[in-house]
Amino acid sequence: MPQPTSGYRRLFALPGARAFTAGNLMARLPMGMFSVSAVMMIAGTRDSYALAGAVVAAGLAATALVAPWIARLVDRHGQSRIALPATLVAVLGELVLVLCARQGAPDWTLFAAYAATATTPNIGGMARARWAHLLKGDQGALHTANSFEQAADELCFMLGPVLAAFLCASLFPEAGTLVAALLLAAGMALFTAQRATEPPASAPSNAGRSPLRAPGMPALLAVCLAVGGVFGALEVVTLAFADARGHGTAAGLVLALQACGSFAAGLLYGALSPGGPAERRYPWCIAALAVALTLPLLAASLTGSLVLLAGTLLVSGMATAPTMITNMTLVQGLTPPGRLNEGMTLAVTGLLGGIALGSAAGGWTAEHVSPTAGYAVPVAAAGVALLIAVTRGPSPRPAALTVA
């Protein structure tokens, strides 16, 4: 068995890898900050959590529509030509949102400004596309790279909300949004400046067919939708469970433990480089996730202890990263080379849609039944994901999906 860090040393020994990763992480951290910052800013200046939630939900819907189009432009014309201008439009939207919230502009201006942030490129997808370009033919190294990117996702979504809440609470309500916008612009500028590692743009004649038309891709995206439902429901139900027990301020820490478990599991999974086809591992990863999600349900229903619940969320989080890493490996294998960023953005869009649905289902169950019963929603969503994964049939290109 290789040393745990050997695979990662090999990745970052590649020329330019450290530089684009630094920009990638700087630009990715705001992804975990914007929603929390917007909610705290709007609620703080307008005294309405309902308005804040509606604005963020509308922005999420806009992102689901716009993100695949931005990704297609990135694949067609190159990361440096499209990503930075699109980011500047999104940053402008954030700044306008701050001004509108601060100056008491009509509510519709908040929706319009936040909708403009939907042009933010999928930085995680672009980073994975760079690794795929640098590691052509080396499926083992690509597995390690995908594992690192998934761990980076978890780290940013673990630290981002904490940083946003700290800035908004300790400085002023707009601080989180302003810092996130600055980090996004600076990180994307650094990322796109690394031209040597940028994958070449694909001419229309070489771009291949749409990833949506690739055999097996719709089923993978359906799994993403179901897994997104797990994430959305788990977050809302945990907030409701903690609040019902008078420990609402501890909910963020409890959720951070889940992300921490996924972060650690992602790094370990990448270092181990398991052999065999990702196609074969996929249902087992989802099955492990479904089983692990029964632990929070049991902890909540049998003990009602928030401390025990936090421990079970840490364990269940460890099943998240292997599932997402394997999913992204399959998406990469099915996506035409000239549409790689678009294919991965479609997967992220599926996750976002699932998060929205899961949040709604988990919130309804927590309010109309009980927060404890709400933990059955992520279990059910994982069960749906497993059913789709088992019945979707084999990949048409299994050879491309094997990790040596």
Q: List the pLDDT tens digit at each of the 404 positions of the chain.
A: 344 445 778 888 888 888 888 999 999 988 878 877 887 788 778 877 677 777 877 887 888 788 888 888 888 888 888 989 999 999 999 999 999 988 888 989 999 998 899 898 888 888 888 888 888 767 778 778 877 887 888 788 777 877 887 888 788 888 889 999 999 999 999 999 988 888 887 655 545 567 777 777 888 889 989 998 888 888 778 877 887 787 666 666 787 788 888 888 877 877 776 666 777 888 898 999 999 999 999 999 898 888 899 899 999 888 888 888 888 888 877 877 677 777 778 888 888 788 778 877 887 888 788 888 989 999 999 999 999 988 875 555 543 444 43
Radius of gyration, CA atoms only, the chain: 20
pLDDT at residue 6, rounded to an integer: 56
Per-domain residue ranges for the chain?
Answer: 1-201, 208-404
Output the CA torsion 277→389→375→264 (10° steps): 20
Which positions ≥6 away from 343 have C-beta within 8 Å?
Answer: 211, 214, 217, 331, 332, 334, 335, 336
Q: How many helices (H) and strands (E) does the chain have?
A: 17, 2
Q: 3-state DSSP: the chain helix, strand, coil percent, rounded to 5?
A: 85, 0, 15
Q: What is the pLDDT of residue 209?
A: 66
Is the CB of residue 190 less than 8 Å from the CB of residue 23? yes
What pLDDT shows up at residue 2? 40
Are 1-201 and 208-404 the same fold in CATH? Answer: yes
Report which DSSP code applies to 245: T
CATH of domain 208-404: 1.20.1250.20
Residue 400 is predicted with a pLDDT of: 42
Q: What is the pTM of this model?
A: 0.75
The whole-angstrom separation of Cα 393 and Cα 325 is 19
What was the pLDDT predicted at 183?
A: 95
pLDDT, residue 395, reads 54
Distances from the Cα of 120 to the Cαs of 113, 212, 375, in angstroms? Answer: 13, 21, 32
Q: Does domain 1-201 have CATH number 3.40.50.10800?
A: no
Q: What is the pLDDT of residue 8?
A: 77
